[in-house]
Amino acid sequence: MRETLAEWRPAIDEAIADLVPREIDADYLEEFFGAPTYEYDPTGIQRSLATPTWDLLDRGGKRWRAVLFLVFVEGFGEDPAEYLRYACIPEILHTGTLIVDDVEDGATVRRGERALHHLYGRDIALNAGNALYFLPLKVLTDDQSDLPAGRRLAAFDMLMDELNRTHLGQGMDIAWHNEREVRISTDQYLEMCACKTGCLARIVARLAAIVTDQPAAVERAVATYAELIAIAFQIGDDILDVEHSLGRAGEFGKAFGNDIREGKTTLLAIHAIRESDPDRAERLREVLAAESNTDDEIAEALAIIEAAGSLEYAREHALELAAEARAEIDRLEFDAETTRKLHEFTEFVIERDV
């Protein structure tokens, strides 16, 4: 799967640059946004939008959402190169959510470097992140003859539905790490993942099905597959955060003990509190609820999570979700190569080391 990701990434970045150029000029602004009422300021827009956006994009990221879209398109019998602009939609949306998420969480590091709001200011970061929710929608209004009106409307309806649910998930996540207790159930955590992370993945699958005119049953099946692997991806992300902090993972690109420091309620924390003796469970609650933590306190919380067997529990849960995702694909009539790639995606999201 890493070969597939590496193969498509340059083309994806080139397509993103068509929508958000690295260098902003007046011609681009007028072509993309329409004629100004008075006069645009390309220099200001460069500093506030293009520069921070490409700063984050150039740090890395696997572009797996865009690549998964292209795998689906190819599996549906179309030439993926003809759909690169559509592949940019979930990737740009994802980039916007990362920027806003870091502001809301007070994160310090993203992809191994300072979070954008620390480099450019909260105002620029929030505006850039919010802009990236809307910019990719222009793909559906440009070159309208390329996509029949019915499919274009279906894509808009789908995007509005999934983006609203994305913010439900983010809202739950924010509420939980602002509380001073861990009160939620495993199912509530999984629902948060299904909304916050799963909806972006569902956009990938549903958009591929819509633009290639697939039956509703196929759209539902690939959306379920994508949601399941996205939840597994989020659990894998939580596992990596702990393993990186324990010195067992590669360069993760986030601060030491990031999730604990931010007071995040993860599947590992829920399990550790449930399975630990009352004193250790209460101590983990205290560390998660604290306004700030020392490295020693972070290490203490990590030890509680590890001793409770929460890493193994979370990994097993992610593997079960991946198996469910593969079952959804096996019910469809994809060719053997597409099926192989989609199966590999379910392994990649869990077994990755960065």
Closest CA to 173 of 242, 232, 99, 259: 259
Contact by Cβ (8 Å): 72, 204: yes
Sequence letter at residue 144: Q
Instruction: Give the pLDDT confidence of 301-316 residue by residue, as tens digits.
Output: 999 999 999 999 999 9
* Mean predicted confidence (pLDDT) in 181-208: 94
Q: Could you tell me what percent of the chain has a pLDDT over 70? A: 95
Write down the mean pLDDT value for the chain: 91
Closest CA to 67 of 142, 146, 10: 10
pLDDT at 184 over 50: yes
pLDDT at 354 over 60: no
pLDDT at residue 255 in the model: 62
**What fold does the segment set 1-144 form as a domain?**
Farnesyl Diphosphate Synthase (1.10.600)
pLDDT at residue 143 in the model: 59
Closest CA to 311 of 257, 261, 239: 239
Contact by Cβ (8 Å): 227, 324: no
Instruction: Give the pLDDT confidence of 219-265 residue by residue, as tens digits.
Output: 999 999 999 999 999 999 899 889 888 875 445 455 667 888 888 88
Domain with CATH 1.10.600.10 in the chain: 1-144, 147-354
* Mean predicted confidence (pLDDT) in 77-83: 95
pLDDT at residue 348 in the model: 84
* Phi, psi for 345 (deg, rounded to 5): -60, -40
pLDDT at residue 142 in the model: 76
Contact by Cβ (8 Å): 288, 258: no
CATH of domain 147-354: 1.10.600.10
pLDDT at 1 over 80: no
The more confidently predicted of residues 247 and 203 is: 203
- Distance between CA atoms of 313 and 308, rounded to whole angstroms? 9
* Phi, psi for 114 (deg, rounded to 5): -60, 140
Sequence letter at residue 158: M
Tokens 């067997």 correspond to what residue? Answer: 309
pLDDT at residue 252 in the model: 47
